[in-house]
Amino acid sequence: MHQLLGSLPHQIFRDLANKYGPFMYLKIGQVPTIVVSSPEFAKEVMRTHDTIFASRPQTLFANIMLYGCTDMAFSPYARVQSFRPIREQELLNLMEWIASNVGLGIDLSERIQKSTHGITSRAAFGKKSKDHDEFISIMEESLTFAAGFEFTDLFPSLNFIDLISPARSKLEKLKQRAERIIENIIEEHIEKNKSPLKAGGESETHADFVDVLLKFHAKDDLGFSLTSDNVKALIWDIFTAGGETSATTIDWAMAELVRNPGIMKKAQDEIRKVFSKKGRVDEAEVTNMRYLKSIVKETLRLHSPVPLLLPRESTEKCEINGYEIPVKTRIVVNAWAMGRDPKYWTEPDSFIPERFLDSSIDFKGNNFEYIPFGAGRRICPGISFGLINVELPLAYLLYHFDWKLPNGMKHEDLDMTELLSITVRRKEHLHLIPIAYDISCVEKSQGG
């Protein structure tokens, strides 16, 4: 168990599955756990018996930071197109910053994270909160506890340990700080919507996520209502699911492109052929970039930001392929292992976007060898929001700049070691030198 807690569990589970099979029962501490590592068994859990395994186990992190698991496991992201001006402005800001550092080594990982969190913040709150940086810091610190492998999660009968756990104390303090910020944001929105200028309510076009959530607060026009804790937990979800996973995926994609310059050139050729006349990237056209989309798919196959899908828990006894599954058994689906299974993928450890060009495999959870967003009724509802927040920044980065490694470093020497948080990031930040290709629209913006 100590190996599991101190390392990269998705890799350990894959190695164990290779030895003991793709439907593996483990007792992790006191928690009966089944690790699913094949598409066949994933389909059994996530489609055939989906209703039985639709619940989430209540972990220390979820109970504290998600207000007793009242977050509904990621809110539905609607009206993706309405946030287009926000994305464009934040990405233009990023391009301006990079253009001012052409020829110099920059920490691209850090700038991507700032940009994606900026997009998420403005989509969620309508503007960047004055407490934006503090909120991001709280989120990142708390997410180190989110994997569900805390001692108190694994030994639930020893509840006295929970009360004295340093993890509980730390999370409670982080929650207090986060709650103060969230409550201020909610109060600002309530006051804004009381204003005479807002008579008749916020328009659908300009409403942010908090506005939408507050419409359902204490109302049941559609047969349900959101409590105050629901609203707070969903705001937290929007940040962790919307910003962190996008930043992680962009970082992995750029690292793979730098390691594979031929693939980067092919992507740049596709993007520049379409946008050269305009001199800028147009979001409406990005959805037609077949090779760029294949790069994103391949990145998510090799480097799923959440390699172990959020755990499920059985609500009743059932049988799968002759195995009896007791009630309250935790199910862990290893999407990372299935994405690298040689039974389903040629050269599974190689970065080959072309494998998706003429493939019908998509993100909708119908192809169980490829489920970076999950499947069934627990599939991530933020797919559209998340994808455009990856595809568009990549298009901007690849259109406006060429990229090279600093200090004469060879692309094959780039460190691709993983680091576990709530997402699996690259251990080292990506330091690159930008070389201007077409920054005319960026310069016009700076001049204006």
Mention every residue, 6+ apart, whose C-beta is less than 8 A from residue 212.
78
CA-to-CA dists, residue 303 to 40, 146, 251, 350, 397, angstroms? 21, 19, 10, 11, 20
Q: How far from chain centre, in Å, is Cα 62?
A: 17
Q: Given 3.40.50.2300, 1.10.630.10, 3.30.70.260, 3.40.50.300, which CATH number is that of 2-447?
A: 1.10.630.10
Please write the tens of the pLDDT for every residue from 284-296: 899 889 999 999 9
What does pTM read for this prediction?
0.86
Sites in the chain below the pLDDT cut of 70: 1-6, 60-82, 144, 146-165, 195-206, 218-225, 241-242, 378, 381-382, 421-422, 441-448
Q: Please tell me the distance from the alpha carbon of residue 360 to that of residue 379, in angstroms, as a whole number.
A: 19
Q: Residue 60 corresponds to which tokens in the numbers above? A: 């220390």
Beta-carbon neighbour count of residue 115 at 10 Å? 24
Q: Which residues are annotated as a binding site for heme?
A: 380
CB atoms near residue 109 (< 10 Å): 21
- Binding-site residue numbers are 380
**Phi, psi angles (nearest 5°) of residue 161:** -65, -35
> Dihedral sign, CA of 401, 406, 410, 415?
negative
Domain ranges of the chain: 2-447
Question: How does pLDDT run across 113-169, given as a tens digit for each residue?
Answer: 999 988 888 877 777 777 888 888 888 788 767 655 565 666 665 666 666 667 778
Please give the pLDDT value at position 72.
45
Q: Which residue has the tokens 């569900």?
A: 148
How do the residues of the chain divide into helix, strand and coil, expressed in percent and rounded to 5?
Answer: 55, 10, 35
Cβ atoms within 10 Å, residue 28: 19
Q: What pLDDT does 257 receive?
A: 99
Q: What are the CA-CA distances from residue 233 to residues 70, 73, 238 (Å)?
A: 6, 9, 9
- Which among 103, 312, 146 is positioned nearest to 240, based on CA atoms? 146
